[in-house]
Structure 1
Amino acid sequence: MKKGDLLYELDPTPFINKVEAAQIALEQAKLSNQQLDAQIAAARANLRTAQYTARNDKVTLDRYQRLSTMQNVSQSDLDKVRTTRQTSEQSVSALNAQIQNLLIQRGERDDKRNVTLQKYRNALEEAQLNWPRTKVRAETDGMVSNLQLNPGIYATAATAVLALVNNNTDIVADFREKSLRHTAVNTDAAVVFDALPGQVFPAHVTSSDAGILAGQEAVNGQLSQPEQSTRWVRDAQRMRIHVALDQPLDKPLPTGARATVQLYNSEGPFARTFAGLQIHPVSWLHYVY
């Protein structure tokens, strides 16, 4: 497989339906805003009428109050006019409250800043983002292994259905920590593989892990538990390093293939010669056994 090749495809129907549903919801929200605009315009027209009526009622009330001081109108007529004036003022207040409520529902007039439209646009963008994800593609060059897919099978999120083995070779070696005292990045090394007896491949150290699980404290609210050992001389701790071949293999070995790594921590000719003599028989020994 090459990077970008299609590995498998999910049934896109549910994702297409979600995109269409999100588009419909967005259009409905736009129509709702248009309806609110019409209601706001109608309410404002009613408000202008109510304000005009309230002004007329105030003029009438003022006239009746002047006539009342001259005993030219009855008290009941004055009370009726006063009630009419109060009713018109209440109508103006109610229409103002109605318009304010409609404006709150409408939100920003700028569609880009309108909260309701932004919510539905986000839902549409998420649906459009998930639709292409129905096609699962290789993120790197490699070979498919442990394939557990058949047409019609139900795939569960966050559950692997195949393994894509990377073509890049990463050689991991565990050494006693005291053996790595003089080891650093680019330290020369030699690698032999169990499947390739007698062949020694020049390599170099690329990195070393910062720690191992044994050095990690679990924060669980419990007291620490010291390591128990009955040995007079305790086992040496092993640390992990990563090694890369100076030249890639002609044919990549399967992931998990066994290898033996010899480090050249010393530049002395005797040490390097002895290390080179040691790695060859080890190669054949691991091949035989």
Structure 2
Amino acid sequence: MAALLLLGYAAIFVVIFKLLRVPVTRWTITTAAIGGVVLVGGLLLAMNYNHPYTTEARLYFYTTPIVPEVKGRVVEVPVKPNAALKKGDVLFKIDPQPYQFVVTQKEAALAEAEQGVKQLQTSLDQAGAAAAKAQAQVDLAQETYDRQVQLLERKVVAQATVDTASRNLEAANQSLVGAQAAEARARLAATSEIGGVNTTVARLAADLRDARYDLAQTTVTAPTDGYVTQLFLRPGMMAASSPAMIFIHQGDRMFAAAFPQTVVQRLRPGQEAEIAFDAIPGRVFVGKLQTLVDAVSQGQLQASPALLNPEDRGKTPGLALAAIEIDEDLSPYQLPAGATAQVAVYSDHLAPVAVIRRILLRMNSWLNYVR
């Protein structure tokens, strides 16, 4: 900007010297030089503060590192670099056989557990029948003992006969306790449920769902509409926990410009902005300042074993980032993601000086033809 102003000022004085036939002397040259320093310096001060300009502007885009959720050997990479993709299109496939084996194993275990539930119900029925039989034996032994006691009182039988009936009754009671305990164990095993489903069946069903999920993840698909660039993945490579490729989202971009902190007081949301992309020479686009990010990256603090060193941070004061909304449609232009640009923002202060800023921005845009 300063070079263009100086060149313009020099051209004006050359014309003045030629047309008005001003003699070229030490005094006239000194006057012209001092006037140029004062005039150009004043214009630069007024423009740079009231109508900020920056070359640190870029069209940012969003990317997603594609990291497979399962590891294995890549068997297919149908995606092509820089080819448009729809959400759900296949990016690459991992060998599914190891995961299919696990699914088959879990399916067999689940089927066995479901069959086991039926067996548990059968065991419960058997234990219940055994307990009922033991109860009947206790009742019979009790009746025999009572009858023998009555006969002993009438002196029809001997004491040994009553003792035998008593031992039979005790044995029957013990058998009943064992049968009831077995029935209780069978009932607990048969009625152990969570959400109305046998606990073993529920656990194995969850394992099967997890195995099927892992199997499905062997096919990696596009998260949104977009494309993959700089594709290096090939069949036979191992896909693990590191990114296999970078996916660029379509149409999800943000244009932002970084300004020196000295002009932050003149930046306000809604102000007019003009943008000259390096990739589109001779064209200036109109936009408006949307937001001013209320943070500078050089000032951030993170947990670290080292103490804060103000000297290191003072070497790079940092730039203030401003998001700019471009009013015009950029789709007719072949503008690569990450394209750089020059940006000027116009405030309400010293509005006449903004005309010079507009002229200089357009001159810089035309210079892009020869850069």
In the TM superposition, residue 98 of structure 1 has moved relative to its aligned partner by 1.6
The answer to whether residue 340 in structure 2 is matched with residue 276 in structure 1 is no
Residue 127 of structure 2: aligned partner: 43
Specify whether residues 62 and 208 from structure 1 end up closer, same or farther in structure 2 by C-alpha distance, changes over 3 A only. Answer: farther
SS at the partner of 1:117? helix
Equivalences, count: 285
State the partner residue of 2:137.
53
Q: Deviations over 1:130-183 (max 9, x none)?
A: 3333222222333312312111211003x2111122333322322334534454
Under a length normalisation based on structure 1, what TM-score does the superposition of the two structures give? Answer: 0.81
Alignment equivalent of 1:164, drawn from 247, 254, 257:
247
Name the CA distance, whole Å, in 2 between partners of 1:82 and 1:3. 86
Pairing 1:72-151 to 2, within 5 Å after superposition: 72-107=156-191, 112-151=196-235
* Partners of 1:266 and 1:272 within 8 A in 2: no
Q: Supply the distance in 2 between the matched residues of 1:62 and 1:210 (Cα, whole angstroms).
A: 97
Query: How far apart, CA to CA, are the structure 2 residues paired with 1:91 and 1:210?
Result: 83
Structure 2 equivalent of residue 29 of structure 1: 113
Quote the Cα distance in structure 2 between the aligned partners of 1:132 and 1:251: 40
SS in 1 for 2:236: coil
Give 5+ residue unaligned stretches, structure 2: 1-83
Q: 1:256 aligns with which of 331, 338, 353?
A: 338
Where do residues 207-246 of structure 1 align in structure 2 (5 Å cutoff)? Answer: 207-209=291-293, 211-219=295-303, 225=308, 227-228=310-311, 236-246=317-327
Normalised by the length of structure 2, the TM-score is 0.65
Match of 1:3 in 2: 86
Which shows bigger deviation, 188-197 or 108-117? 108-117
Which stretch of structure 1 is more off in the superposition, 191-200 or 27-36? 191-200
SS in 2 for 1:197: coil
Q: Does 1:62 align with 2:181?
A: no
Give SS of 2:243's match. coil
Tell me the secondary structure at the aligned position of residue 342 of structure 2. Answer: strand
- The percent of aligned pairs where both chains have the same amino acid is 24
Q: Distance in 2 between matches of 1:205 and 1:255?
A: 20
SS in 2 for 1:29: helix
Whole-Å separation in 1 of the counterparts to 2:110 and 2:139:
43
1:2 alignment partner AA: L
Contact kept, 8 Å, 1:195 with 1:287, in 2: the verdict is no
Deviation at 1:272, TM superposition (A): 4.1
- 1:256-286 per-position Cα deviation (integer Å, ceiling 9, x unaligned): 3333332234387425434423433444678
Bigger Cα Rg: 2
1:101 Cα deviation (Å)? 1.7
What are structure 1's unaligned runs of at least 5 residues? none
For the residues of structure 2 that align with 1:100 and 1:177, how far apart are their CA atoms? 79
> What is aligned with 1:198?
282
Q: Which amino acid aligns with 2:321?
A: R
Question: 1:95/1:236 Cα in 2 relative to 1: closer, same or farther (>3 Å)?
Answer: same
Q: Structure 2: how far apart are the matches of 1:240 and 1:275?
A: 21
Which one-letter code corresponds to 1:199 in the other structure?
R
Distance 1:225 1:110, change over 3 A: closer
Deviation of 1:31 after TM superposition, in Å, equals 0.4
CA RMSD between the two structures: 3.3
Closer/same/farther in 2, CA of residues 70 and 283 from structure 1, 3 Å limit? farther
